[in-house]
């Protein structure tokens, strides 16, 4: 894992302060081991590529930027897991390598084969590649979107970086918010798609490679799917386990200490079984003393004990204010999914001894494990409930049947039931607390979302996974120089799961039964029957208790009022209703607090 930066200058522009140094300093936590830069040209334009390195492969020799004998340059964030096999192929074709690093392999592959070579890469990556003799410049991300890459064109110059704050650090990119993106944060907790929270800064899309020419025009290039292969007849589940075993092995092949984020569910338990076959990586689990509804540590402890793994519990503090402020500092864009806070705390604990952590991220998306996929069948009849009845009935159900209340409220969402189920809160509840600049957050455009389980799974790969889960893990872990790795997102695992789908196993989550059966036989029969809980954070209780002072300090502050994003009377009333127990508004309060603290840190450039 690294932090990367590229700057394409205007040769006719007057001499100005160098943006590369400040950008690399902003990326130090992503790459604490070393930093360097190299110069090249894109046509007549000077180009500087810079990298901060977290050395996980060939620590001594795999320095970046990589310079090819031809003069081509590469900076690279992430890992190529099959780099040894690719090196052997390229060596047989006449290529010579000076290091054992995966970045050098990727640079050689791109120079020899162009973007077509990415079809043979198994990895999670983002890169900037500058061809020899004046270009072109290629910007790319892996198909899952596990590693970030953003760009901005300002004043005839181009800036590319791993994170938004690195782009802003040089002072050339304006610190202006994209208000439409901030509305998405209040509705869904995250910014979706190509836009970012800063106007003019856009993301390279997952699986996309952009060609940049000397006029700074960008052209998307066709990229082949990695490791495509024809389905093979085999007993149901055998291909899945073989692929997952290979994915775990590849992701534990590192020169630095590696471990496992272990929850109480089956996805991470299965990874623990397969990781224990390779060695004995330590496992880390978040614990919630005093909040049993959120705590999965007992199941995780049983799994670690059965497998003989060293196990560390990471208790969420009674007052998690430092964790909230740590998460604010770690995220370059506003991120209101409250589970980012415990993820940051888990990353801090792992960072004391690890540099790599396997996680179960993607298991539910790949194997259809979310209950919400199968709730979509209720959509048609729920839409028959009159609008004037939906909210009062949902409020009545909220105390005794909260899942039913959430389902009913979601059914009235303008974007359909599935998008409604993923909201932080029903959008109608935002209307009373927002100022004029953000009042559109309570009125999303009526763009219907998925209506079937298959459509929902497909959307999660382009929306929920890259915009929420992988962003959360990347920023929270990399704040402590820990690289998260995701065996379930390996293309071989996804292909094997897809083969199960073609055998008719998508019905009612039957794909996930393959994983449950293996956990039942090899870990704990009881664990395979445990209902999914998710990785939560008790925001309702905390914003009535330990986090109440933070909420009052931020939401009632003069700077917040003057920004104009909130309606002061509505924000005060919401906070009072929550504190009195008349309304469970912890998610909304957390989103508003995080949005304002992000604005102070990133837009105002003030430490929080």
Instruction: Give tens-digit pLDDT for 372-384.
Output: 887 776 655 565 5
Structure tokens at 100: 């054992």
Coil, strand, or helix at residue 27?
coil
Q: Among positive and negative, which fits the CA dihedral 495, 1, 136, 89?
A: negative
pLDDT at 148: 97
pLDDT at 505: 43
Name which of 263, 284, 303, 562 is nearest 435 in CA terms: 562
pLDDT tens readout for residues 119-129: 999 999 999 99
* DSSP state, residue 60: T
Give percent of the chain with pLDDT exceeding 90. Answer: 70
pLDDT at site 200: 96
Tell me: cis bond preceding 126? Omega within 30 of 0 counts: no
DSSP classification of residue 432: G
Instruction: Tell whether the model's pLDDT for residue 230 goes beyond 60.
Output: no
Determine the 3-state secondary structure of 66 from DSSP.
Answer: strand
Region 51-76: what's the mean pLDDT?
A: 94
Task: Measure Cα distances from 201 to 5, 76, 204, 310 in Å.
Answer: 14, 20, 10, 43
What is the structure's pLDDT at 511? 63
What is the token pair recorded at 42?
């894109």
Check pLDDT > 60 for residue 232: no
The pLDDT assigned to 424 comes to 85
Query: What is the mean pLDDT of the segment spanning 53-76?
Result: 94
Return the closest-CA partner of residue 505 out of 279, 239, 295, 272. 239
Distance between CA 351 and CA 493 in Å, rounded? 28
Q: Which of 538, 507, 54 is nearest to 316 (CA)?
A: 538
- The secondary structure of 73-139, three-state, reads EEEEEEEECCHHHHHHHHHHCCCCCCCCCHHHHHHHHHHHHHHHHHHHCCEEEEEEEECCCCCCEEE
Per-residue DSSP letter, 500? H
Residues 559 and 260: their CA atoms lie apart, in Å, by 41
Percent of residues in the chain assigned helix, strand, coil, to nearest 5: 45, 15, 40
Q: What is the 3-state secondary structure (H, E, C) of 323-358?
A: HHHHHHHHCCCCCCCCCHHHHHHHHHHHHCCCCEEE
CA 180/CA 468 separation, integer angstroms = 17
- For residue 231, what pLDDT band results from cuts at 50, 70 and 90? very low
What are the residue ranges spanned by the domains of the chain? 2-221, 240-534
- Rounded distance between C-alpha atoms, residue 60 and residue 100, angstroms: 9
Element (DSSP H or E) covering residue 382: helix 379-382
49 contacts 65 by C-beta, under 8 angstroms: yes
Per-residue pLDDT, 534: 63
Q: CA 578 → CA 290, 539, 542, 575, 588, distances in Å?
A: 20, 11, 11, 5, 10
Record the pTM.
Answer: 0.93
Q: Are 355 and 392 in contact (CB under 8 A)?
A: no
Return the DSSP state at 514: H
CATH of the domain spanning 240-534: 3.40.50.620
Cα dihedral: 266, 268, 274, 279 (round 10) = -140
The least confident of 271-275, 393-397, 406-410 is 393-397
pLDDT above 90 (res 205): yes
pLDDT at 582: 87
Q: Does domain 2-221 have CATH number 3.40.50.1700?
A: no
The span from the first CA to the last CA of the chain, in angstroms, equals 26
Per-residue confidence (pLDDT) for residue 383, from 0 to 100: 59
Token pair in block for residue 524: 């704990």
d(CA 556, CA 574): 12
**What average pLDDT does this structure show over 70-96?**
96
349 or 396: which leads in pLDDT: 349
Torsion of CA 282, 287, 289, 294, to 10 degrees: -160
- pLDDT higher than threshold 50 for residue 508: no
37/15: higher pLDDT: 37
What are 284's two structure tokens?
């880390």
Residue the block writes with tokens 């190299």: 38
Q: Give the C-alpha separation, 551 to 575, whole Å.
A: 8
CA distance 118 to 74: 14
- Tell me if 168 sits within 8 A of 318, measured CB to CB: no
Q: Indicate the SS3 state at residue 589.
A: helix
- Average pLDDT taken over every residue of the chain: 89
**All residues at 6 or more sequence positions from 110 whose CB lies less than 8 Å from its CB, including other chains:** 72, 74, 117, 118, 127, 129, 138
Distance from chain centroid for Cα 199: 21
What are 274's two structure tokens?
A: 């397969």
Q: Rounded CA gap, 508 and 528, in Å? A: 16
Work out the average pLDDT over 36-42: 97
Q: Which residue has the tokens 């929420």?
A: 468
């Amino acid at each position: 894992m690294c932090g990367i930066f590229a700057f394409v200058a205007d040769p006719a522009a007057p001499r100005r302060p160098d943006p590369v140094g400040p950008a690399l300093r902003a990326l130090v936590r992503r790459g604490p081991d070393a930093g360097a830069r190299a110069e090249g040209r894109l046509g007549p334009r000077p180009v500087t590529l810079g990298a901060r390195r977290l050395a996980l492969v060939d620590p001594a020799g795999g320095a970046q930027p990589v310079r090819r004998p031809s003069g081509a340059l590469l900076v690279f964030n992430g890992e190529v897991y099959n780099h040894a096999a690719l090196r052997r192929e390229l060596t047989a074709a006449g290529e010579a390598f000076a290091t054992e690093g995966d970045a050098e392999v990727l640079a050689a592959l791109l120079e020899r084969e162009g973007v077509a070579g990415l079809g043979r890469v198994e990895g999670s990556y983002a890169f900037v590649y500058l061809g020899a003799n004046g270009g072109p410049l290629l910007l790319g991300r892996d198909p899952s979107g596990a590693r970030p890459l953003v760009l901005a064109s300002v004043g005839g110059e181009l800036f590319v970086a791993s994170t938004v704050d690195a782009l802003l650090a040089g002072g050339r990119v304006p610190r202006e918010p994209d208000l439409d993106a901030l509305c998405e944060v209040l509705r869904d907790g995250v910014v979706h798609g190509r836009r970012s929270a800063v106007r003019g800064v856009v993301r390279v899309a997952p699986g996309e490679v952009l060609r940049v020419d000397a006029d700074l025009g960008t052209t998307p290039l066709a990229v082949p799917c990695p490791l495509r292969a024809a389905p093979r007849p085999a007993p149901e589940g055998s291909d899945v386990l073989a692929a997952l075993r290979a994915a775990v092995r590849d992701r534990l092949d590192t020169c630095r200490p590696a471990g496992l984020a272990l929850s109480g569910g089956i996805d991470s338990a299965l990874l623990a079984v397969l990781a224990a076959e390779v060695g004995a990586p330590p496992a880390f689990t978040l614990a919630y003393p005093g909040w049993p509804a959120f705590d999965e540590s007992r199941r995780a402890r049983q799994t670690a004990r059965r497998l003989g793994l060293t196990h560390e519990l990471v208790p969420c503090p009674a007052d998690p204010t430092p964790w909230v402020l740590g998460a604010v500092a770690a995220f370059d864009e506003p991120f209101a999914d409250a589970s980012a806070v415990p993820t940051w705390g888990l990353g801090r604990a792992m960072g004391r001894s690890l540099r790599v952590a396997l996680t179960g991220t993607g298991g539910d998306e790949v194997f259809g494990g979310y209950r919400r996929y199968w709730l979509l069948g209720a959509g048609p009849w729920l839409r028959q409930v009159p609008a004037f009845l939906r909210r009062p009935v949902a409020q009545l159900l909220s105390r005794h049947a909260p899942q039913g209340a959430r389902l009913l409220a979601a059914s009235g969402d303008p974007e359909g039931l599935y998008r409604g189920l993923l909201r932080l809160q029903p959008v109608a509840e935002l209307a009373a607390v927002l100022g004029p600049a953000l009042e559109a957050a309570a009125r999303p455009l009526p763009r219907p979302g998925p209506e079937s389980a298959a459509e929902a799974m497909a959307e999660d790969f382009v929306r929920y996974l890259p915009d929420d889960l992988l962003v959360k893990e990347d920023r929270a872990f990399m704040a402590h120089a820990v690289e998260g790795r995701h065996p379930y997102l390996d293309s071989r695992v996804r292909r094997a799961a897809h083969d199960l789908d073609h055998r008719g196993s998508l019905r009612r989550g039957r794909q996930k039964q393959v994983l449950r059966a293996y956990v039942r036989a090899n870990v704990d029969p009881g664990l395979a029957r445990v209902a999914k809980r998710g990785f939560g954070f008790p925001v309702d209780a905390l914003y009535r208790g330990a986090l109440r002072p933070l909420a009052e300090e931020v939401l009632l502050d003069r700077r917040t009022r003057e920004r104009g994003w909130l309606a002061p009377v509505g924000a005060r009333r919401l906070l009072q209703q929550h504190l009195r127990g008349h309304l469970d508004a912890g998610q909304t309060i957390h989103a508003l607090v995080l949005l304002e603290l992000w604005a102070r840190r990133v837009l105002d450039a003030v430490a929080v």
